[in-house]
Structure 1
Amino acid sequence: MTGKTHVAIGVAAALTISYNQPVESQLVLVTSAAIGSLIPDLDHPKGKLNQKLLLINNNFYRALFYLSISSIFMYLYYRMGNKIFMLLSLVSCLVGISSHRSFTHSIIGFLLASSIIKMGTLKFNLPSIYTGFVVGYALHLIADSFNPKGIRLFYPIKANISFPITIKTNSKAEKTIFLLLSIYCICLLFNYLR
């Protein structure tokens, strides 16, 4: 699925979960779900976030960028001894060397990314960020499981997992899903304003 559809899925779920919560909590949950829904595609040079982060959108530069980031985090870990930097280094390295729909689309990738967010949000008592991130990330994996190519859910095992019913990226079915989710989100937002 395209980045905008992943964001629409994450935002729709976050708006649903945050219904009747204070506006600040809703905003945090929706924003973190939107970001969480884009994180798995860091393994693709043309993913929405990589379009903003990378100067050149190809696999070589993506690998170089994330391996460099990994080195910086490892340096910070050795200087400060904070375990979050070690995890960030590991995840950055794996993002740099993995192919699309492999590490970041796996249970291991999900658990590592979620652990990093949990460690960061526990320190500042921000559970809404963690919840939104987990919802966005998990729904991204579920949505990509409907792709005919599937995802390597059990990475490093090379088997691709996909649902029997498939939806091609940027197909009419995906565009319909995006449209319906957008209408649903607008209806929820109008309902909030009442």
Structure 2
Amino acid sequence: MTGKTHIIGGITASLAFAQVTNYEPVILVGASIIGAIIPDICHGGSKIGRTLPMLSKVINGLFGHRTFTHSLLFLVLISFIMDAFISVEAISAGVLVGMASHIVLDMATKRGVKFFFPFKWTVRFPVTATTGGTSEYVVFALLSLLTVYFGYGLFLPL
């Protein structure tokens, strides 16, 4: 998936998550946008990879693309790091929701992810989308509609 799809996925997931928690939605959304791009630090052409090229190159050299940074292990590691250094729970929750949405969206591609890294098992959905293709635009449109739906429920209650 492309960066814009990951970002809208993070926004959608954080707004849905805000429906069932007491966290401030604006904080969740902001943190989720950041979380939604973090897993692609392993790809030099990604939004975050272009922002932090040296770190991206090192991570890609050590692990490759869609392995460690797209795994349950990485989610747990980031969770422990944020628990130790971030005192605002809504920020930690938002980052993790954004990262999880990123990984789930990449599971919907033909390439899938190595979710159980260091095991080399590829996890992907039975029906996949092509990155940058028509199917991704359909996913983007659906996520956009869900963003409006969940945002309306939070910001414009009846």
TM range (shorter): 0.7 to 0.9
SS of equivalent residue, structure 2 residue 129: coil
Write the distance in 1 (CA, Å) between the matches of 2:4 and 2:150.
18
Write the distance in 2 (CA, Å) between the matches of 1:13 and 1:27.
13
1:48 is aligned with what amino acid? K
Which residue of structure 1 lines up, in the alignment, with residue 131 of structure 2? 169
Matches within 5 A, 1:65-76: 66=58
Shift of 1:158: 2.2
Kindly tell me: are residues 96 and 109 of structure 1, through their superposed partners in 2, closer, same or farther at Cα, counting changes over 3 Å?
farther
Q: Work out which of the residue numbers 105, 111, 119 in structure 1 matches 2:70.
A: 105
TM-score (norm: length of structure 2): 0.85
Which residue of structure 1 lines up, in the alignment, with residue 24 of structure 2? 25
TM-score (norm: length of structure 1): 0.71
User: 1:166-192: CA deviations, max 9, x gaps?
Assistant: 111112121011112223323444552
Which residue of structure 2 lines up, in the alignment, with residue 11 of structure 1? 11
Which residue of structure 2 lines up, in the alignment, with residue 86 of structure 1? none
RMSD between aligned residues: 2.4
Write the distance in 2 (CA, Å) between the matches of 1:49 and 1:164.
29
Q: Identity across aligned pairs (percent)?
A: 32
Give the total of aligned pairs.
156
Write the distance in 1 (CA, Å) between the matches of 2:151 and 2:116.
37
Write the distance in 1 (CA, Å) between the matches of 2:124 and 2:150.
31
Which residue of structure 2 lines up, in the alignment, with residue 119 of structure 1? 84
Kindly tell me: are residues 20 and 102 of structure 1, through their superposed partners in 2, closer, same or farther at Cα, counting changes over 3 Å?
closer
Which residue of structure 1 lines up, in the alignment, with residue 119 of structure 2? 157
